[in-house]
Structure 1
Amino acid sequence: MIITEEYPHTAISTWSGFVYQGKVALYHCLRLLEKSYDDSKCYRLQLESADDFAVYLADKCISIHQVKAYKDGSFSKYRGAVKKQVTDSLKYPGASVYFHVSTCINDLPEGFNVKYKPVSIYTYRSNGIDQNFCNLSDLDQLVETEISEIYKKAGEGSSHKLSGPYLERSRNILENIIIDKVIDVHAKIQREGKATDREIAAKEYISFSKICDVLEDELTEALLTEDFFFKQLLIDIGTYYKRFFDEACRDDGDVCNFDKLDSYIALLCGLDKRRLRDFIKSVLPQKRGEFKNIDQYKSETFSLEDLRDGLFRVLDRLTTAGIEREKRLVFSWFHEGRFYYPTALRGSELIDAKKICKRIIQNSIANEVEFLYESGVLVTVGVDVESLPSVYSVGPNSMDEDNALSHRRIAHFKDISLVSYSKVSEDLKDE
């Protein structure tokens, strides 16, 4: 039966952490299916209630899982969470209790399994070797390995499913099942404001049979719709933010303002398709922000480098932005009569600036990036241009080649400049 008297703390709104937890949950579900496919079909996955995730057989909880994605490898960082999981496990007698970590714990206490019974550090299988940790960068490969093992056991009729592209497609579609559930839970939380996050999450399950349906189906490219890529972009945001987080903690000694960035990520992952398209065009004004097919997803949206090395760095280094949320999501700062907008633009050489400015002007005219027609400053990483048209040739030959541009149109951009985040006023920096 569902535990109702007390619900543990949930972090379902922390999108980047949830993306990692979701990938771990998917991996565990696939391991159960790979071990005993028919027996595991009747299981159900529960997210963010009994623990970070849990597996149920009918109304009985058979395992609870805590997931920690810290960079710290010392047990002291985890001791409190382990103790709490020992206490929480009393509500689920007979359930296996697993603690997942992304970094190897170097000083795990001797006799851990006795002192902290029934908690066990979860063991992953990587290249035939068991290890008690798994970082984000390895998870996708481990998930695809489990999928391939299931396909192999299905027989010769599934041999075509063992190619790299097919395994990646399978993983993406399975991840989207989890994202669908997260979005559904968020919507219910908003509609039922009096209920707590944990109460709502406790009633939501993903049947293993839904996972099996994907594994047994033929995953043609017809399934790769705009809705599919929209959900994939939400996963990308969380994945890329987690990598930014990990690298900042490693390289900068955890000096980033992650409370501020977490609030930004929550807003990004609450966007619908139209507003996500608009946001992509605003932070990557040289792109169209379209994702109706695989080519657009790869070429007209953001990449890991765009977010990790561009936008997230700009948002981190500047003070808390003013936020417009009504028609579209726009972060901005107002300083000495000018608006400053964050972008994911990166570069250093003049040739980069020329290409960027040309693409911004062409794309903005063709795809109506409205704020670019106003005066303002686009904050970048390593690109400085006093005025967009200043480094973009607008002579007759260029005009003929572009065919869509005119001196009058380009004049709209004369008050738009690009500036590196390191060169903005000290008043805008979050030191």
Structure 2
Amino acid sequence: MKKKYKMSQLIDPNDIHSAAATWNGFIYQGKVALYHVLKLINEKDSVEGLHLQLDSLEDFAIVRYENEEPKPVTLHQVKAVKSISYLRYKEAFEKLEKRKDEFPCDEEAYFHLAIKNEKSKADIEGLHKKLKIYDYDGNPYCKIEDLQDEIKTQAKNCLTKFNLNHLSNDHYLETLSNELESLITENIVSIHAQNHLPNGDSINKSAYYSTISLNRFREIIIVDLTELQQDKNYFIKKLKIDLNRYYQEFCFEFEDEIEDNTQIKLHLYLAYFNGLTNPNFESFLQKIMPHRRVKFSTLQEYKDNSLFINEIKKGFLTILNGIRNSDNINSIGWTDNDNKKYFPSAIIDSDNPRSRQNISIDIMNTALETLIEVPFNADYIITEGCNVTSVIEESNKSTRINQSDIDILNNSTSAEYDKITKWKNITLIELDKAKQKLNGIIN
């Protein structure tokens, strides 16, 4: 039986803290929200009038509108932590119960677990009678690494429901999942954009009202995406999803080592990456991967030249985690006491003579081929563990660099070739040494 709302019951969105400002847990929460939306589309005859709300009343909520105000149907709190201890979650369980009292919902308040708890579903619900542990096809939890497959299963069930079985193959399900997930990513980006507009709404207000109709998800499902043009823009969307997934896995793996203020710093970086326009995102990728040409206009180029998980997690994200807050050099980068500028990379080569020479050759060849500018006029490129005093001197030790190209640019006054001459002065510095130079500086 549905609860009735009194006309006097008003929720001021500015009183509800939204974690959208820090992208707090967004990646996992967004995937869990997508799973639940697909489950609703599968189970219900119609999802008309239902909307997804992110990072407002709870981590996410399903709401309906009454007098142009969102009213909660179900509340959902999501916890992606590794602990099996009941006590680790007790405060969060109590918080969800309190939220249900503050914001009465038509149905239930659900708690989503990413790992099996020491207490059973029945035990937890017995201790916390105002919440339900969310059920994933008979399991009271869903591991982070399994969630993408669970989403694809629900998407496949949706195709069956709408008599689209002929589309149900792995490649199509991947495409469909990406398009659905992009709805959620774009929603969060929009919330941030609104916040930065002159006289724009607060994050809290934007998150409260910027809901996504479940019919929008349904519309994507019932449209044949086989004709979707798989061009550069399509693959950039996939690359952003890849980056988000690697970020979530990184935070989950190192949750005990990442302090709260560092977590906020990483969230803001991710918000910045997701908010980049396609051309700027492509340029950003090339700058953090100066050792490899970024090309992804076709599926094969995407597979061969895009983000490698180890480079992003062990290199780029580890650097962002280890170095203090950016000095706001185009939203990422640092300056030391000698006014030398530093930029992070995804380079994870080891510090031995062969690696130093090979990475220098790769950087120079990529620079000559693409004529990319040195990232933000950096003096140092930070790597996971490789030190090179001079990229050009190191690469000159090999015949694999076309010396005639170097000679041409040395005698050229072209602005394009000037980009490469700047590369010649670049130093690669390993993370530990960069931390010594940068982390002692007070922002």
Name the TM tier (shorter chain): 0.7 to 0.9
Aligned match of 1:197? 203
Partner of 2:429: 419
C-alpha distance 44-319 of structure 1, shift in aligned 2 (>3 A): closer
Structure 1: stretches of 5+ with no match in the other structure: none
Residue equivalent to 1:152 = 160
- Residues 221 and 356 from structure 1, CA distance in 2 versus in 1: closer, same or farther, beyond 3 angstroms? farther
Matched, 1:86 2:97: yes
One-letter code aligned to 2:345: T
Please give the per-residue CA displacement for 1:85-123, whole angstroms capped at 9, x wherever unaligned. Answer: 212213224321101122222146974324422201111
Under a length normalisation based on structure 1, what TM-score does the superposition of the two structures give?
A: 0.85
What amino acid sits opposite 1:101 in the alignment?
Answer: L
C-alpha separation in 1, matches of 2:35 and 2:278: 28
Alignment of 1:267-282 (within 5 A): 267-282=272-287
**How big is the shift at 1:288?**
4.2
Q: Which residue of the partner structure matches residue 176 of structure 1?
A: 182
Cα deviation digits, residues 200-243 of structure 1 (max 9, x gap): 22222222222122211111253434444444433333321221
The aligned counterpart of 2:131 is 119
Give, as a single letter, the amino acid of the residue that structure 1 aligns with 2:207: A
Runs of at least 5 residues in structure 2 that lack an aligned partner in the other structure: 411-416
Q: Structure 2 residue aligned with 1:103, among 85, 104, 115?
A: 115
2:143 is matched with which residue? 135
* 1:363 correspondence with 2:374: no
The DSSP-based 3-state class of the residue aligned with 2:129 is: coil
Aligned ranges 1:7-22 → 2 under 5 Å: 7-15=15-23, 17-22=25-30
Counterpart in 1 of 2:340? 338
Match of 1:314 in 2: 319
Residue in structure 2 matched with residue 224 of structure 1 by the alignment? 230
Report if the CA contact (8 A) 2:246-2:313 is conserved: yes
Q: How high is the sequence identity, in percent, across the aligned residues? A: 25
CA–CA distance in structure 1, aligned partners of residues 357 and 78 of structure 2: 46
Q: Distance in 1 between matches of 2:191 and 2:175?
A: 25
Distance 1:334 1:393 in 2: 28
Q: Secondary structure at the match of 1:389?
A: helix
- In the alignment of these two chains, the number of paired residues is 419
CA distance in 2, matches of 1:342, 1:122: 40
Look up the equivalent residue of 1:56 and give its one-letter code. V
Q: What's the secondary structure of 2:81's corresponding residue? A: coil
Check if 1:286 corresponds to 2:279: no
Kept after mapping to 2: 8 A contact 1:343/1:378: yes
Question: What does residue 414 of structure 2 align with?
Answer: none
The alpha carbon displacement at 1:291 in A equals 4.9
1:52 equivalenced with 2:59 (yes/no) = yes
SS at match of 2:254: helix
For 1:70 and 1:140, how far apart are their aligned partners in 2?
17
Q: Which amino acid aligns with 2:182?
A: N
For residue 382 of structure 1, what is the aligned residue in structure 2?
Answer: 385
Q: 1:68 pairs with 61, 79, 93, which one? A: 79
Q: Within 2, Cα distance between the matches of 1:76 and 1:232? A: 38
Question: For 1:220, what is the secondary structure of its paired residue?
Answer: helix
- Between stretches 190-199 and 161-170, larger displacement belongs to 190-199
CA contact (8 A) 1:287 1:301 kept: no
Letter in 2 for 1:358: I
Distance (Å, rounded) in 2 between the aligned partners of 1:429 and 1:189: 30
Question: Is the 2:21–2:203 contact (alpha carbons within 8 Å) kept by the matching residues of 1?
Answer: no
Compared CA separation, residues 9 and 407, structure 1 to 2 (3 A): closer
Name the amino acid aligned to 2:40.
L
Give the 3-state SS of the residue equivalent to 2:115 in structure 1: coil
Q: Look up the equivalent residue of 1:132 and give its one-letter code.
A: P
Contact kept, 8 Å, 2:29 with 2:59, in 1: the verdict is yes
1:165 matched to which residue of 2?
171
Q: For structure 1, which segment, 389-398 or 218-227, has the greater mean C-alpha deviation from structure 2 after superposition?
A: 389-398
1:338 Cα offset (Å): 3.2
SS of the residue corresponding to residue 346 of structure 1 reads coil
The 1:12/1:225 distance shift into structure 2, 3 A limit, reads: farther
Q: Which amino acid aligns with 1:353?
A: R
63-72 vs 7-16, greater mean Cα deviation: 7-16
Give CA deviations for 1:40-64 in whole Å, capped at 9, x if unaligned: 3553222222222122345453211
Structure 2 CA distance for aligned equivalents of residues 366 and 295 of structure 1: 19
How far did residue 312 of structure 1 move?
A: 1.3
State how far apart, in whole Å, the 1-side matches of 2:254 and 2:435 are.
23
Q: Which amino acid aligns with 1:363?
A: T
Q: Quick one: distance in 1 between partners of 2:144 and 2:65?
A: 31
* Distance change >3 Å, CA 82–CA 305, structure 1 → 2: same
**8 Å contact 1:376–1:415 — kept in the other structure?**
yes
Change (3 A) 1:184 1:266: closer
Residue 252 of structure 2 is aligned with which of 246, 251, 266? 246
After superposition, the C-alpha distances for 1:365-387 in whole angstroms (9 at most, x for unaligned) are: 34343236967221111222221
What's 1:27 paired with?
A: 35
**Cα distance in 1 between the residues matched to 2:218 and 2:435:** 55
What is the Cα-based RMSD across aligned positions, in Å? 3.2
> Relative to 1, partners in 2 of residues 1:256 and 1:423: Cα closer, same or farther, differing over 3 Å?
farther
Deviation at 1:172, TM superposition (A): 0.5
**Bigger shift: residues 133-142 or 179-188:** 179-188
How many angstroms apart in 1 are the aligned matches of 2:208 and 2:340?
A: 48
